[in-house]
Amino acid sequence: MTTTMRAIVKDGAHKGAVLKTVPIPKIGAQDVLIQVKATSICGTDLHIYNWDEWSQSRVNPPYVFGHEFSGVVVEKGELVKNVEIGDHVSAETHIVCGHCPQCLTGNAHICEDTQIIGVDRDGCFAEYVALPAINMWKNDAQLPWDIASIQEPLGNAVHTVLAGDVAGKSVAVIGCGPIGLMAVAVAKACGASDIIALDLNEYRLDLAKQMGATKTIHSLQEDPLIAVKSVTKHGVDVVCEMSGHPIAMNQGFKMVKNGGRVSILSLPVRPVEIDVTNDIVFKGITVQGITGRKMFETWQQVAGLLTSGQVDVAPIVTHHFPLEEFEKGFELMNKGACGKVVLHP
């Protein structure tokens, strides 16, 4: 094996990134080295690429970013027992401490001292990535590389939708980026009665129909609150907020019915003003912040949904590029002219 690799590096405090040759990472006794076969671009990566307010306050260039991938274990530390060289793997991207109150009570996904790969440490937009073996998820060798690479964001969708019961209930998915589209598919697979997808992008609303939305709403062409009421009468049972837009988020709180649930995965880049009195307290709703995936309960759910065929995410993967053409992928994402973009080192 050579000692260097190609990687996409967030090289400074500005918009964009560069493809560079960097050292292949070294591993410790409890780590593994993975040869990356496919790595997909996430909305978080787009925040970092565009160098918005959130990324300016969170990440410290220069470093390799990216956090969604599939690959093959090519080297393992002497203490690693759970995976073998040659295994097909993806990874839980939250590296947790293991000893805080959250980790000790089965809530490691909200660990007080979480590090996220591609955000707080080097990531997987590269030919190789090194990670703790405990974070490995072994994939079925028959699972295509591109589908395997998007299990992590699919886990976000599963965690958001299944944070409460959805069977026989109406579900509104606000924001039809890739994870929102996945949420539509998960809601359908888990028995939601009505699945309402809201966005400003016709391309993605069309994808939402393919994934199982029973109604799509272009929020500039019709009033979302009136449109939702026409379907649900009393308001929607569950809102999955994936947009991060202040107006859309407020609409979500207004369209949810009394006693309903709002689960928020999106990351607004600045504080959002909500009418807590009228839209939360008096309505008696449940509001949940969703971060990551339950480790490893959500991964088991993801694998089951994919293996059973109940969820087919292939239509969401709309573009493939070699690693050196990464800028084309980010350009498509900025335009909203894609589903999931997968890069192949």
Positions marked active-site: 44, 47
The answer to whether the annotation marks 290 as part of a ligand binding site is: yes
Report H helices in the chain: 43-50, 53-58, 101-104, 145-149, 151-161, 178-189, 202-211, 224-232, 246-255, 276, 297-308, 326-335
Give the three-state DSSP class for 317. strand
- Is the alpha carbon torsion for 302, 306, 308, 314 positive or negative? positive
SS3 breakdown of the chain: % helix, strand, coil, rounded to 5?
A: 35, 30, 40
How far CA 125 is from CA of 37, 116, 190, 258, in Å, comes to: 10, 14, 33, 44
Residue written as token pair 């590029």:
321
Structure tokens given for 248 = 């859309």
The answer to whether the annotation marks 53 as part of a ligand binding site is: no
The answer to whether the annotation marks 68 as part of a ligand binding site is: yes
The answer to whether the annotation marks 124 as part of a ligand binding site is: no
The answer to whether the annotation marks 267 as part of a ligand binding site is: yes
Number of neighbours of residue 239 by Cβ within 10 angstroms: 30
The answer to whether the annotation marks 265 as part of a ligand binding site is: yes
In Å, the largest CA–CA distance within the chain is 63
The answer to whether the annotation marks 131 as part of a ligand binding site is: no
The answer to whether the annotation marks 111 as part of a ligand binding site is: yes
The answer to whether the annotation marks 264 as part of a ligand binding site is: no
The answer to whether the annotation marks 338 as part of a ligand binding site is: no
The answer to whether the annotation marks 199 as part of a ligand binding site is: yes
Residues belonging to the binding site for Zn(2+) are: 42, 67-68, 97, 100, 103, 111
Residues belonging to the binding site are: 42, 67-68, 97, 100, 103, 111, 179, 199, 204, 265-267, 290-291
Residues belonging to the binding site for NAD(+) are: 179, 199, 204, 265-267, 290-291
